[in-house]
Homo-oligomer: A and B are copies of this chain.
Amino acid sequence: MPARPLPPPPDRTPSARLAEGPLRGLVGYQLALATIVTDQVFDDRAGRELRRVEFTILALVHANPDVTARQLARALAVTPPNIALWLERLVSRKLVARTRSPHDARMQHLRLTRSGAALVERTMAALVEAEQATLEAHMSAAERAMLAELLHKAAMARRRAEPG
């Protein structure tokens, strides 16, 4: 029979065509490789204006007006000192506004400024579009939605490190 170019074997890493072996079914490993793609998407479309953590903080504050730093830290599994550092940068860029809680002066409530809201909305739209454009060659819209849904379920398995 005539020679023909062999199709590359399945179950191989992107970019280097290495066999994955038992890594193939390991969720943690596949997460790490998929994250390379979404990190590229973010860096291309938003990396000049925001870090990934910064974007996520802005988006969560946008969806949860008057959230506190502690709540953000828990949601993102970032330590309180580090949340304080990121918030400091966002506040100094006038993207986030802090106000002391009238009920408990230890807490401060966070809100986006007008420019913060504009930035996060613009960035969100760009990222949704870029994710779609990047992934659509390899998976359908339904598969993308299913992926986000399954990731959400997996994320719910997080062990609680701190109370409340």
Residues of A within 8 A of B (CB): 11, 13-16, 18-42, 52, 56, 59-60, 62-64, 67, 71-72, 74-77, 124, 127-128, 131, 134-135, 137-139, 143-148, 150-161
**Between-chain CB contacts (< 8 Å), 23 pairs:** A13-B60, A14-B75, A14-B158, A15-B161, A21-B59, A22-B124, A23-B124, A25-B128, A26-B148, A27-B34, A28-B42, A28-B127, A28-B131, A32-B35, A32-B56, A33-B155, A34-B151, A38-B154, A135-B157, A138-B153, A138-B154, A146-B146, A147-B154
Closest residue of B by beta carbon distance from A161: B15
Tell me if B143 and A13 are in contact (CB < 8 A). no
Say how many copies of this protein the assembly contains.
2
Q: Contact partner of A40 among B72, B153, B159, CB < 8 A? A: B159
Tell me if B124 and A63 are in contact (CB < 8 A). no
Tell me if B155 and A30 are in contact (CB < 8 A). yes
Given A36-B155, A36-B158, A147-B150, list of 18 further CB < 8 A pairs?
A11-B152, A13-B60, A14-B157, A18-B63, A19-B63, A20-B60, A22-B59, A23-B59, A28-B52, A28-B127, A31-B38, A33-B151, A33-B158, A36-B77, A138-B153, A139-B150, A143-B153, A147-B151
Q: Which residues of B contact A34 (CB under 8 A)?
A: 27, 31, 151-152, 154-155
Q: Which residues of B contact A33 (CB under 8 A)?
A: 76, 151-152, 155, 158
Tell me if B31 and A152 are in contact (CB < 8 A). no
Minimum Cβ distance to chain B for residue A117 (Å): 12
Q: Which residues of B contact A71 (CB under 8 A)?
A: 16, 18
